[in-house]
A and B are shown apart, each in its own frame.
Chain A
Amino acid sequence: MRISRIPRRAVAAGAVLAVLLPLSACGDGDEGGSTDASGKIEGKITFQTWNLKANFKPYFEGLVDEFEKKYPGTEVHWVDQPGEGYADKISADAAAGTLPDVVNVSPDLVAPLAKAGIAMDLDKAAGKYEKEYLPGAWKSHQIPGTEGTYAFPWYLNTGPLFYNKRLFKDAGLDADKPPKTYDQLFDDALKLAKKSDGKVATLANVPTIEDFGRYGVPLMDKEGTGFSFNDAKGVELLTKYKELYDAKALDGQALTATPESTGKKFLTEAVAMNPGSALDLEKFKKDAPTLYKNIGITPQISSTGKDNMYVMGVMVNARTKQTPAAVAFAHFVTDAQHQMEFAKKVAIFPSTQGSLDDPYFTKQDGKEETRVRVAAAKSIKTAVNYTPVLFSEQMKVELRNAVARALQGKESPKEALDNAVKNCDRLLKTS
């Protein structure tokens, strides 16, 4: 064929189309697998976790080896992604059709994937395993408005609240009786701010959706069609926080704070209370020995009597070509034995039936870490995941901005929450 006979424009157009057409197919994905997990467990699958390689590499490598040994003919490729931008990484992979077969997710991440048909319905594919897990944990990956369960529950977490006993004593408060409810917290915070002439704040972060939940505010209707945190109770909570902000009982930089910045403020004794986990004790001991000497540990502030619980799950990609192997591996990672092994390596709590009755979670040995663990394990039995699964990152920003407007006095708490609910409902409809 003689190139010279082909019009140059046609050659150029062909070249551009040759490049662009394959790209335009991105996102179509492969409709792939089925929910039938009954076949032979074999083949190569990919397993993606979220910021776990740095600290738990031997555990996960052992887990993969054990699975491959148990099911000859299987091969698991483990990839670990950084925590920063994890949702963006998943969304890019999901849109490009390259999402791994088994993925570590939280309920708010699994919700859009389930709606888009990318998360496998485990009620259909692995319903027989449901009884192995705590009922609340299994339900945590059910999405209002859809039928099915879209991830195996993995570990649960809750955290105590740390407080600085010295700052409490200096303010004339009883350091052995830290606040337990929001009303007590508000009283103590105002006293602490007054006594320190506004130099010591009690909290460094604005209220989040979990705070509204723990205060007893109804967050969303049962059908998942609209938010309701602008009710009278929600307005009351925000009004109280405004009082704290005006009295400097809430840190001046709370409106732009991140978990990292609030942790630093607690470490430098600029604020008196901060949420954390048993892992933080080691950090205090190493980085802030003076603070460690005065550290107090108390359950989360809650006016409902139930703590907030964070849930982690393991999802199976609905488009996997190795459904039996992917479902088997996701179950393997989250079964009672492996959750227990993982719990002993890190301060998390298993979501499997009976695991929390293990002496590891019930017997005291005099160590502070054990005291925290036993107390947290006790509270987790009744804890609630207050973050609605349909509450996206964009919605969190809407609430946070509304809270900031109310605290600055630009809008009344009622106006701010009404606007936040209106915007969140609009986002809900378009998500």
Chain B
Amino acid sequence: MKSPTATKAASSDISTAGPAPKGLRPDGRGGRRIRRQLPTSPWLFAAPGLVIVAVFILYPFLSTLNNAFTDKRTLIPGEYVGLANFRELLHDDMFWIGLRNSTLYVLVVVPALVLLPLLLAMLVQKHIPGITFFRSAFYTPVVASIVVVGLIWVWMLDERGLVNAVLEAVGVGKVGFLSDQWLLLFSAMAVTVWKGLGYYMIIYLAALANVPRELHEAAAVDGAGAVRRFFSVTVPAVRSTMVLVGALSSVAAFKVFSEVYLMAGPTGGPAGEDTTLVMLVQRVGTGLTGRVGYASAISVVVFVVTVALMLLVLRADRKEDA
């Protein structure tokens, strides 16, 4: 007589319940097969994304690296020239001007974009009537097209523009925002900061929402004023966000193109003195006579510097943590 347990086991045996489903054979081989096929499946799911990355990121990146060591031109494949492009860069005045301007952009724009959006976020964080309007207003430049923004500022800063009209009315006289080498560069920086404020403000708003109110209250009870609370409570609480903003804005600032191109014109300001590295890549590497190999070498320099900037910021963050 079969025990009740044995009967239950027999009734649940798949070998007695008709033909086994395909791939699930009772000898267990089907099970192993499933396990062996499983690792392929994630690759199939990831394939569309991987193809896009390969075509639009990996291939252009490897191609640029490869081209940097050739004298390739737009219509001529070129030959390998070793480090000749990089040696030429060392003697190219325009490259050094571009490097100077891009570096200066980082040094001026990044501190402004780390601090000003934080102050702005603290202002609009308060729940007062009409604050939504101000939040939206500060965010508007972020969604505006950079071309439109550039044109508006060119009109405003023109010799006959609004800003000069105001300066003339108050007795300062006309200022050559678009004709002086340095004023032009700093005007472009101001536009970059103005356009980026809203974007980083939103990031800071999210970070500030996570700062415990009790910390501020405790500090206030201990007699800390607004400035002290800012440095002792707010800044430590959003420090990792400040690092993130610093990293993002420094990479963006080093790769600046649109603002300077729109305000300084295709030549890069008077005598090209406002050219940035990315503008130089565009100028040298495009068109029917473009020097693709040389422009790629400049692009490699831009890549190396931006990676170095990221590492520098992250390393500084790690040191703070330690």
Contacts and interface: CB of A to CB of B under 8 A. Distances in A.
Interface in B59-76: 59, 71, 73-76
Given A3-B40, A394-B287, A252 B184 contact: no
Interface in A116-133: 116, 118
The interface residues of chain A, by DSSP majority, are classed as helix
A113 B75 contact: yes
A23 interface: yes
Contacts of B289: 112, 392-394, 427, 431
B288 A113 contact: yes
A270 interface: yes
Nearest to B66: A24
A12 B39 CA distance: 13
B286 interface: yes
Contact of A112 (B33, B75, B178, B270): B75
B265 A91 contact: no
B78 to A, nearest CB: 10
B317 interface: no
A167 B264 CA distance: 29
A400 B267 contact: yes
B50 interface: yes
Interface stretch (A216-224, A317-325, A341-349, A402-410): A402-410
A419 B70 CA distance: 26
A94 interface: yes
B51 A15 contact: yes
Contacts, number: 113
Interface stretch (A189-197, A253-261, A331-339, A359-367): A253-261
B75 A401 contact: no
A27 B283 CA distance: 21
B265 A258 contact: yes
Nearest to B36: A4
A256 B178 contact: yes
Interface residues of A, number: 45
B134 interface: no
A417 interface: no
Contacts of A8: 39-40, 43
A88 B287 contact: yes
A430 B291 CA distance: 8
Q: Does more than half of chain B's interface fall in helix, strand or loop, or is it mixed?
A: loop
A10 interface: no
Contact of B160 (A109, A257, A270): A270
A94 B267 contact: no
Nearest to A404: B271
B75 A256 contact: no
A401 B288 CA distance: 21
Nearest to A411: B271
A235 to B, nearest CB: 17
Contacts of A113: 75, 288
A255 B37 contact: no
Contacts of B47: 15
Contacts of B75: 91, 94-95, 112-113, 115-116, 118
A269 B232 CA distance: 58
A11 interface: yes
Nearest to A405: B271
B270 A408 contact: yes
Given A253-B178, A256-B270, A404-B271, A19 B288 contact: no
B173 interface: no
Contacts of A402: 271
Contacts of B267: 256, 397, 400-401, 404
A421 interface: no
A329 to B, nearest CB: 23
A431 B272 contact: no
Contact of B159 (A252, A255, A393, A401): A252
A11 B59 CA distance: 18
Contacts of A90: 288
B184 A256 contact: yes
B166 interface: no
21 contacts: A3-B37, A4-B33, A11-B43, A88-B287, A91-B75, A91-B288, A94-B75, A113-B75, A118-B75, A252-B159, A256-B178, A257-B265, A270-B160, A394-B284, A394-B289, A397-B267, A397-B272, A400-B267, A401-B267, A404-B271, A431-B73
Given A19-B55, A20-B58, A256-B265, 15 more contacts: A4-B33, A15-B54, A19-B51, A91-B290, A109-B288, A253-B159, A256-B267, A257-B265, A268-B160, A394-B289, A397-B267, A401-B267, A404-B271, A430-B73, A431-B289
Interface of B: 33, 36-37, 39-40, 43, 47, 50-51, 54-55, 58-59, 71, 73-77, 158-160, 176, 178-179, 184, 264-267, 269-272, 283-284, 286-291
